[in-house]
Chains A and B, each alone.
Chain A
Amino acid sequence: MALPAAAALQARAQAPFPLAELMARLAQPASRSGSFVEDKTIGALTTPLQSTGRLSYAKPSRLEKLTSFPQQESLVVDGNRLIINGGAEPPRVVELDGQPELRALVDTIRGALSGDLTLLQRLYDVAGTGTLADWHLVLHPRDPAIAKLVREVDIDGGADVRMIRTISPNGDTDTLRITPTP
């Protein structure tokens, strides 16, 4: 019993992870949406901070993150423009062209949700493990400027993206768990 399992494991290790195929699958739906739970562990804090809300993506480049707890916040990216509306203050509009680091963070999420391998590989060295039904990607920044903000990004999923975790150089983590809604 043990032998075939070991052989299968070995075969999996030898066969390169089908990254392109995974991304092509992820790229198929024109839009996807789901609810999210975000946990942040910050070195200065004793407890993780949790927030929840809805996340949606529509081709080619629109991303919406609407946080409903603990405070209302909407973050909308459309093309090159990022609009953050924190409620009390007037919305902040950021042109991503002027903010390469911020753009990289936005494109990490956009790239994962849209299955845009080219975009991800421009920013990161991408390595994958697992199967197409249960996969795990590890991303390391290629650009030193981005490495100052992100040490590593982990992305898990099956048919859809289930989790995106960003690890800062100082060890702080930001984990976004997504439950797709049909």
Chain B
Amino acid sequence: MKRAPLLLALAVCVAITVAAFSRVTVSTDMAAFLPAGRTAASRFMLRELQSGSVASLILLGIEGAPPQELARISTAMADQLDRTGLFAAVANGRQGLDGPEGRLLFADRYLLSPGVDAAAFTTDALRADLQRLLLQLQSSASPLAVQFGLPDPVGAFAAMAPAWIGTARLRSVGGVWFAADRDRALLLATTRAGGMDIAAQDTADAAIRQAFAAANPGSARLLASGPAEFARAAAASIRSDIRLLSIVSGVLVTALLLWRFRSLTVLAAIAVPVTLSVAAAALAVQAAYGFVHGIALGFGMTMLGVTVDYPVLLIGHRKFGEPAGGTLRRIGPAFALAVLCASLGLSGMAFAGFPGISQLGLFALAGVVAAALATVLLLPPLIVRANLAPVSAGDPARTLRVEALRRYRAWGLLPVALAAAGLLAMGGPHWEGDIANLSPVPQAARDLDAALRQEIGAPDLGPVLVIEGATAEVVLARQEAALARLGPAKVEAAARLLSSAAVQRQRQADLPDAATLHDRLAAASAGLPFRPDAFDAFASAVAAARGASPVTLADLGDGALAARIRPLLFERAGRWYGPIAGLSPQDPARLQALAGQDALFLDMHAETNAIVASGAERAGWWLAGGAVAAVAALLAGLRSVRMVGRIVLAIGAAVLVTVACLTALGQRLSLIHLVALQLTVGVGIDYALFYARRKLDAEERARTLRTLVTCNVMTLLTFGLLATCQTPLLQAIGLTVAIGAVAAMGFSFLFVGWRPPAVRPS
């Protein structure tokens, strides 16, 4: 029964952790990982990434059934999703321009069409139009000519419709969108909730899957890509990687601990602070930020491998039968200083002003502190009650023979020199500038997103010229001026759809009055078989346009037309914005040339990377600050410049060798590597501080050596396995910590440990 309290404590800790994780929201939005922009361009971009129409877009594909069946499912789904009220728009092509939305545009054709000017209404132009119309009436297209040609012989609607349809890349089957080159129905859903609102995105996603199931999909498959999908994919891939690895490394670490302690109960004791640390870390980040970023989560889970050290250090140093306070008295100072240094280093991260890094820092900090507190406060009575300690250590002298190596520790500088020289020869470490490569979203999910985006022609983060103004009208007028300077480029812009009031008034002025139009039509149709009343609908539409007030954004309603133009003309915090996106490769340069007052050129991709670079630099300084604080704490705690110098040498040597190894392995160093190095430094300081303890008897030194080797092998097993996994983020962490921990162990042993006196030859 002496184990009962320990097992009960473990059960409580596990329950707490499970409860904590059920309350955690995972986000993978890279914007949430980035620091606030310092330029107008980057602030605009981040705002759009977080809440803009790009972030609330969900791309859907349906495939794996005959085209007719796919079309039916697509329509059924779109209707069902419309009814949920969760979506601002669900587009699948079923609302073409022949419904009420199309009639609205048709009614306003003489105000909105770029084909309307004075030249289009001369007698000569009208006669050419009527002759062409006659030929169309005679051709197989005559039903269309009757429907659209007679009320609009000048072709105003035909000139404006392509811009509004704007989906040249899509094919239509059964009246709905299909990918151009494969049987895949496509839908585009815009959620009312922002892309960052993962809970709302989850609801929307559930509605989508429900609508798909309700459409009796049969053999068809649903493909979905959106913020919620990315978050789930990232969390799932991190969890599955972690699950597999934690099973394998768990078995290995368990075997190691069993061999070392010969007790299953020790495993339960070790699990107490570890589970608590993960729960505390996740809850701390959730409380501070309202969500946990996928990167922080991935990192946080791997924290397991490091916090195991704390209980192992405690139990490993306990003498058999020793009371609770005894062990703590011997290792307390080193343990406390190690935790303090690690915390100081991590708090540098937590305050770095780079949200992603801050989350990591807070996660690690909370985890380390919770594990340390649990180890010091909870564990000792439980251990003593269960009487846990390493099995008899055997002859300390045999273990300590290895200490003789320290007589040759000057040789330890050789690998350091080699690493420095190698790093110089390789031109220093290589930096990773593209944040997309850090994404925790699996490559397959990112590929699917890119494919759907490309097929549907959905807005992507590309180069845009953002026109700004106090009102929608001002933005439209400025866009028209910019487009005029740009010439006949193929661009996507609100002004291509909705003209400014000034331009609409100009068109009104160009329209002939009723009498003039009547006379011109009569002259133009001379000799042609048109009845006198054939163009009544045309004449009355022209007359109505002359008297109408200009069409505004509000007149377009809130249906498909609004969904089409809203991403291109929107209000944010009282200002109006209208991006102009180039559609051909040479456009970015030409758009950039137009940048100026109220016209902001943005290359989203380049901008993101610039933000990362500047943020990384600041974070680097904060990390350095944390390191300085840790050194100060060491000086205060150890009161020996010499000893602190040794520790800094050992840790510095480990960092140098790690960076050199990573570079030699072809890794590009990113923020993640920096943070993993920080973690390594924390682990290394543990080792160094335990080696730094002086005036110990041989037995205690042997205990320390065995315990640290145990810790080190555990770290190597856990993180070494992590280095083999697929998620780039976890791989980077694994490789860095595995190399760093071994190096830190070696250098701490050599440079910091007590050097036995030379054995005199007898």
Residue A44 contacts which of B135, B174, B176, B530 (CB distance < 8 angstroms)? B530
Interface residues of B (CB under 8 A from A): 67-68, 71, 134-135, 137-143, 146, 150, 171-176, 529-531, 533-535
Taking a contact as CB atoms under 8 Å apart, the answer to whether B137 and A95 are in contact is no
Residues of A within 8 A of B534 (CB): 44-45
Q: List 27 A-B contacts (CB under 8 A).
A: A40-B142, A42-B146, A44-B146, A44-B534, A45-B137, A45-B530, A45-B534, A46-B529, A49-B134, A49-B138, A51-B138, A65-B140, A67-B139, A71-B138, A71-B139, A75-B140, A86-B141, A97-B67, A97-B68, A97-B71, A98-B171, A98-B173, A98-B175, A99-B175, A100-B174, A149-B143, A170-B146
Taking a contact as CB atoms under 8 Å apart, the answer to whether B530 and A40 are in contact is no
Residues of A within 8 A of B172 (CB): 95, 98-99
Chain B interface, DSSP helix/strand/loop, else mixed: mixed
Residues of B within 8 A of A42 (CB): 137, 142, 146
Distance between B205 CB and nearest chain A CB, rounded to angstroms: 29
Taking a contact as CB atoms under 8 Å apart, the answer to whether B531 and A98 are in contact is no
Residue A95 contacts which of B135, B139, B173 (CB distance < 8 angstroms)? B173
Residues of B within 8 A of A46 (CB): 529-531
Top 10 A-B pairs, shortest CB-CB distance: A44-B534, A98-B172, A47-B529, A46-B529, A49-B138, A45-B529, A98-B173, A97-B173, A75-B140, A44-B150
Distance between A90 CB and nearest chain B CB, rounded to angstroms: 14
Which B residue sits closest to A98, measured CB to CB? B172
Q: Which A residues from 36 to 95 make CB contacts under 8 A with B?
A: 40, 42-47, 49, 51, 65, 67, 70-71, 73, 75, 84, 86, 95
Cβ of A172 within 8 Å of any chain B Cβ, yes or no, is: yes
Taking a contact as CB atoms under 8 Å apart, the answer to whether B142 and A174 are in contact is yes
Residue B139 contacts which of A44, A73, A97, A170 (CB distance < 8 angstroms)? A73
In the assembly, what is the distance between CA of A84 and CA of B534, in Å? Answer: 27
In the assembly, what is the distance between CA of A97 and CA of B174, in Å? Answer: 5
Distance between B102 CB and nearest chain A CB, rounded to angstroms: 14
Residues of B within 8 A of A67 (CB): 139-140
* Count, chain A residues at interface, CB 8 A: 27
In the assembly, what is the distance between CA of A86 and CA of B174, in Å? Answer: 25
Interface residues of A (CB under 8 A from B): 40, 42-47, 49, 51, 65, 67, 70-71, 73, 75, 84, 86, 95, 97-100, 149, 168, 170, 172, 174
In the assembly, what is the distance between CA of A43 and CA of B171, in Å? Answer: 34
In the assembly, what is the distance between CA of A49 and CA of B133, in Å? Answer: 12
Given A46-B531, A47-B529, is A40 in contact with B173 using a C-beta cutoff of 8 Å? no
In the assembly, what is the distance between CA of A114 and CA of B137, in Å? Answer: 27
Residues of B within 8 A of A45 (CB): 137, 529-531, 534
Distance between B486 CB and nearest chain A CB, rounded to angstroms: 27
Residues of B within 8 A of A168 (CB): 143, 146
Residues of A within 8 A of B141 (CB): 84, 86
Which B residue sits closest to A94, measured CB to CB? B172
Taking a contact as CB atoms under 8 Å apart, the answer to whether B142 and A44 are in contact is no
In the assembly, what is the distance between CA of A14 and CA of B270, in Å? Answer: 98
Taking a contact as CB atoms under 8 Å apart, the answer to whether B140 and A100 are in contact is no
Taking a contact as CB atoms under 8 Å apart, the answer to whether A98 and B174 are in contact is yes
Residues of A within 8 A of B529 (CB): 45-47, 49
Residues of B within 8 A of A51 (CB): 138
Residues of B within 8 A of A65 (CB): 140
In the assembly, what is the distance between CA of A46 and CA of B532, in Å? Answer: 9
**Apart from A42-B142, A100-B175, A170-B146, 20 more pairs, CB < 8 Å:** A40-B137, A40-B138, A40-B142, A44-B150, A46-B531, A49-B529, A65-B140, A70-B135, A71-B135, A73-B140, A84-B140, A95-B172, A97-B67, A97-B71, A98-B175, A98-B176, A99-B172, A100-B174, A149-B143, A168-B146
In the assembly, what is the distance between CA of A174 and CA of B138, in Å? Answer: 10
Residues of A within 8 A of B531 (CB): 43-46
In the assembly, what is the distance between CA of A73 and CA of B146, in Å? Answer: 19
In the assembly, what is the distance between CA of A84 and CA of B176, in Å? Answer: 22
Given A45-B531, A75-B140, is A95 in contact with B150 using a C-beta cutoff of 8 Å? no
Residues of B within 8 A of A71 (CB): 135, 138-139
Distance between A79 CB and nearest chain B CB, rounded to angstroms: 13
Residues of B within 8 A of A86 (CB): 139, 141
Among B143, B171, B174, B530, chain A packs the most CB atoms within 10 A around the CB of B143
Distance between A51 CB and nearest chain B CB, rounded to angstroms: 6
Among A44, A100, A170, chain B packs the most CB atoms within 10 A around the CB of A44
In the assembly, what is the distance between CA of A45 and CA of B533, in Å? Answer: 9
Distance between B629 CB and nearest chain A CB, rounded to angstroms: 67
Taking a contact as CB atoms under 8 Å apart, the answer to whether A70 and B138 are in contact is yes
Distance between A150 CB and nearest chain B CB, rounded to angstroms: 10
Residues of A within 8 A of B535 (CB): 44
Distance between A180 CB and nearest chain B CB, rounded to angstroms: 21
In the assembly, what is the distance between CA of A47 and CA of B531, in Å? Answer: 9
Taking a contact as CB atoms under 8 Å apart, the answer to whether A49 and B137 are in contact is yes
Residues of A within 8 A of B140 (CB): 65, 67, 73, 75, 84
Distance between A182 CB and nearest chain B CB, rounded to angstroms: 26
In the assembly, what is the distance between CA of A158 and CA of B721, in Å? Answer: 84
In the assembly, what is the distance between CA of A44 and CA of B528, in Å? Answer: 11
In the assembly, what is the distance between CA of A95 and CA of B178, in Å? Answer: 12
Among A47, A51, A70, A98, chain B packs the most CB atoms within 10 A around the CB of A98
Which B residue sits closest to A51, measured CB to CB? B138
Residues of A within 8 A of B139 (CB): 67, 71, 73, 86
Residues of A within 8 A of B137 (CB): 40, 42, 45, 49
In the assembly, what is the distance between CA of A74 and CA of B68, in Å? Answer: 28
Distance between A147 CB and nearest chain B CB, rounded to angstroms: 14
In the assembly, what is the distance between CA of A70 and CA of B146, in Å? Answer: 19
Which B residue sits closest to A174, measured CB to CB? B142
Residues of B within 8 A of A47 (CB): 529
Distance between A65 CB and nearest chain B CB, rounded to angstroms: 7
In the assembly, what is the distance between CA of A145 and CA of B173, in Å? Answer: 17
Which A residue sits closest to B172, measured CB to CB? A98
Which A residue sits closest to B171, measured CB to CB? A95
Distance between B648 CB and nearest chain A CB, rounded to angstroms: 72
Residues of A within 8 A of B67 (CB): 97
